Amino acid sequence: MAAGEGHLHSTHLVRAALLSVAMVQTVSGAARADGMPIAYLAETCHACHGKGAGQGIPALTSLAAPQIAEAVRAYRDGTRKNAVMNAAASGLDDGTIRELAAYLASNR
């Protein structure tokens, strides 16, 4: 995806922004069908980064979307080390990470 990276980047940002707005506006905090895959992915984070996070595991609540995305990319690439997160982030593509970060930052 290297050749089209710039284009994909902006597309994903717009998609992520629209997605997160749609998510917050639905009734009962419920996700919309088209947001399902990212909502599912975000839910997988909460087993660890939920209400107990802050001491041994960082809370995501104080982080903006770009910070979350940067951290997840760094864990995926191994430039930031934590055994659990290196495995948890493995195989995620940049677009998915941006959408995931946007979702996590907008649904707290």
Partner 1 sequence: MTLTRRGFLAAATATAASLAAPAFAAATPHVVIVGGGAGGATAAGFIRRLAGDRVRVTLVEPSATYITCFFSNWVIGGLRTMADITHDYARLPASGIAVVQARASRIDRDARSVVLDDGTAIAYDRLILSPGIDLRYDALPGYTEAASEIMPHAWKAGPQTELLKRRLDAVKDGGSIVMLAPANPYRCPPGPYERVSLMAHVLKSTGRTKARITVLDAKEKFSKQALFQEAWEQLYPGMVEWLPPSVHGGVERVDPAGSSVVAGLDTFKADLVNVIPPQHAGAIARTSDLAKDGWCPVDATSMRSALDANIFVIGDAASAGEMPKSAFSANSQAKVAGANVLADLLDWPRPDPRFFNTCWSLLGPDDGVKVGALYAPKDGAIASASGFLSAPGETAEEHRRSAAEAEAWYASITAEMFG
Which residues here bind partner 1, judged by CB under 8 A?
A: 26-31, 33-34, 36-37, 39-41, 43-44, 46-57, 83-84, 86-88, 90-91
| Smallest distance from partner 1 to CB 48, Å | 5
Q: State the amino acid at position 100 in one-letter form.
A: L
In the complex with partner 1, the residue whose CB is nearer, 4 or 29, is 29
Residue in the block written with tokens 């940002």: 13
| Smallest distance from partner 1 to CB 26, Å | 7
| Smallest distance from partner 1 to CB 6, Å | 26
CA distance 31 to 35: 6
Element (H, E) at 66: helix 65-77
| Smallest distance from partner 1 to CB 29, Å | 6
In the complex with partner 1, the residue whose CB is nearer, 57 or 63, is 57
CA distance 86 to 80: 8
In the complex with partner 1, the residue whose CB is nearer, 11 or 90, is 90
Residue in the block written with tokens 């946007």: 102
CA distances from 36 to 26, 39, 103 (A): 13, 5, 11
In the complex with partner 1, the residue whose CB is nearer, 3 or 27, is 27
